[in-house]
A and B are shown apart, each in its own frame.
Chain A
Amino acid sequence: MFSRLSDKLQDVFKDLRGHGRISEKNITDALRDVRMALLDADVHFQVAKDFIARVKDKAMGEEVLRSVTPGQQIVKIFHDELTTLLGGDAAPLNLTKPARILVVGLNGAGKTTSSAKLARLLKSQGRAPQLIACDLHRPAAIAQLATLAEQVGVPVYQPQAGETDVLKVGREAVAWCDQTPGDVQIYDTAGRQDLDEPLIEELRRLKEFLQPQEILIVCDAATGQQAVNVAEKFHAALGLTGIILTKLDGDARGGAALSLREVTKQPIKFAGVGEKIEQFEQFYPDRLAGRILGM
C-alpha cells in the first residue's frame, strides 16, 4: 500500500544501512522528495512547506533515527499527520431546525449534482429533504435541479423563469418550505469565482437572510493551487461549516483538500465519486491521505 513514496524513501535511506546511522541531513533530503510528491499532488505551496516542517520535527526523534526502517517510519508519521490534518472521524451535519444547508462553490464544481445527491442520502436516512434552486444565472440550472429532484423523489422549489433577485427567491423559498412537507432545506446556488466581489457579496446576503446551519463548499478534487484563495475568500465571506469534495472517481491526487482544510479548519463531510445520484458517500480521510502521497 505504501509502495510509491515508500520506495522513493527507501532508496534514499538504502545507502545508510551500511553505516548503521541516519543523520538529520538524510531526513532533510528524504523530506525534499516528499515535498515534491506533495506539490505533485496539488498540495498548496505554503501548506506543503509548513507540513514538511511539522513532520520533520517528529521524524527527528531518536526512535526514528535508530530504527532499522527509518524510511518506513517516516512515511508512517507522514501518513498519520496527513490523516489527522484531513480530519478524523466524519463530522455529522448539524440539522437543528430549521436545518438549512447552503451549497456554494466555484463554477462547475458539482454543486447542483451534490445538492441532489445529498438530498438522496438524507432521504435514505429517513429525513424529508427539500431542494431549492437559487441559481438564477446559469442557463437551465433550475431545470437541472428539477430533473435531479424528480429522480430522487424530493420536492423542489423552482423560481419563476427570468427572476434575477436571489434574496427574493430566498424569501419565497422559505415560505414555500413552510407549506411543503419536509425537514431539511438544501439551497443550490450559482457557481462563482472567488475574485467576483459582487457575486460573493450576493451570496453573503443570501446567507445573512437564511441563517443556514450548514454552509458547504463544493470543491473539485482536481483543483490546483488556487484552492487556498478560494477557501479563504468563501470562508471569510460566509463562514463555511464543511466541505464536499467531488469527482474523486477520477485520478486527481486531491491535494487541494489539504488547502481547504488548512484554511477553513472545517471537516470534509462528503465525497462525490461519480456522476450518478447514488455515487456520494461519507468522507474517509485515510483513503485520501494515501492518494495524496501516491500510495
Chain B
Amino acid sequence: VAQYSAGPADWDALEEALLRADLGVSMTTHILEAVRKRGLDVNAQTAAEVCREEILKVLPPAGPPPMPLPDRPSVVLVVGVNGTGKTTSSAKLARWFTSGGFGCLLVAADTFRAAAIEQLEAWGKRLDIEVLKGQYGGDSAALCFDAWNSAHRRKIPYLICDTAGRLHTKSNLMQELSKVKRTIGKHDPTAPRECLLVVDATTGSNAIVQAKEFHEAVGLTGIILTKLDGSGKGGAAVAIQHELGIPTRFIGTGEKPEDFAAFDRDTFVNTIL
C-alpha cells in the first residue's frame, strides 16, 4: 500500500539526471529499461534508489591493486587523448606506488608536446621520484624499452610510461602507440601489465569512442577518470564498462598529488543521482 501512496516514478526526471551525468543516450535507455522492468517496486520514492542499484549492477566491485611481480618490473602504460590528465595522473600514480612502499620509475615518453618532458620532470622533483627521459622528437618506444632494462636491472617494481596525447582518430599516432606496447613486450610478453586510459570526466559521448579505439590499439585494462572535482560527473565511465568491459580503476579529484584515489563505485553512483 505504501508503494502506491508514493505515486508513480518521475521518468522524465530520472532520464534527465542520467543524461546530465553524461551516461549517454543508449546507456540511459538501458538503465531506465532495467528499472522499468522491476515494475511495482518502483515509485516516486524508490526510483532513484532503484536506478542506483541498476547502475551498480553494471559496475564491478574494485579489483585488488596490482602487487609487484617477483622477477620483473610491472609496466603501466598511461594513454589517452590530448589534455585529459595523463602526465598529472602518471605522477599521482607513481606517488601512489611509492607511498605504498614500492619503488617506481617515471618515463617521459611524450617526446612531442612542448615542455612535456619538463612537466613530468617537475612532477618527479616535487615527488622525489626519478624520471627517465629522452630527446624531443625521439622514439618513445625505444625509450620505454631502455627504461624497462633500467628498472629490471635495478629491481624497481613499477615503471610508469607517460605517453603523448593523441586523438583516437589519427591512425598513424595510434599505430605508434601500438608499437610502444609491442616494443615493451619484447622484454616480457606479459608487459605492459596495465594499460590505463585517462578520461576527462567532463567528456561527453566521445569518451566511449575514445575507449573503443584505444582498446583496439593497446588493450586497455582500466580507466583513470580525472577532473571529478569539476561539475562533470564522468557518467561515460558507466557506458565504457557496460559496452567494453573496461573498469574504472582510479579517479583524479584535483591538481595536487594527493587528489587521487582508487575508484569507489558507491561514491561515484551517489554523485550521479
Contact = CB atoms under 8 A, between A and B. Distances in A.
B136 to A, nearest CB: 9
Contacts of B202: 106, 220, 223-224, 226, 230
Interface in B217-272: 227, 229-233, 235-236, 255
Given A36-B25, A225-B19, A226-B231, A249 B207 contact: no
A262 interface: no
B229 A193 contact: yes
A103 interface: no
Contacts of B203: 220, 222-224
Interface of B: 16, 19-22, 24-25, 81-85, 112-115, 118-119, 121-123, 126, 165, 167-170, 200, 202-207, 209-210, 227, 229-233, 235-236, 255
Given A108-B85, A139-B118, A222-B200, 15 more contacts: A108-B84, A137-B255, A138-B255, A140-B118, A144-B118, A147-B115, A194-B230, A196-B230, A222-B206, A224-B235, A226-B22, A230-B230, A230-B231, A255-B204, A275-B82
Given A40-B25, A139-B123, A252-B204, A224 B82 contact: no
Interface string A7-51: 000000000000000000000000000001001111001000000
B206 A250 contact: yes
- Majority-rule SS of A interface residues: loop
B119 A138 contact: yes
Interface in A207-228: 220, 222-226
B90 to A, nearest CB: 12
17 contacts: A45-B19, A106-B227, A144-B118, A146-B115, A147-B115, A193-B229, A193-B230, A195-B231, A196-B229, A225-B20, A225-B232, A226-B230, A226-B233, A250-B81, A250-B168, A251-B209, A275-B165
Contact of A193 (B19, B123, B231): B231
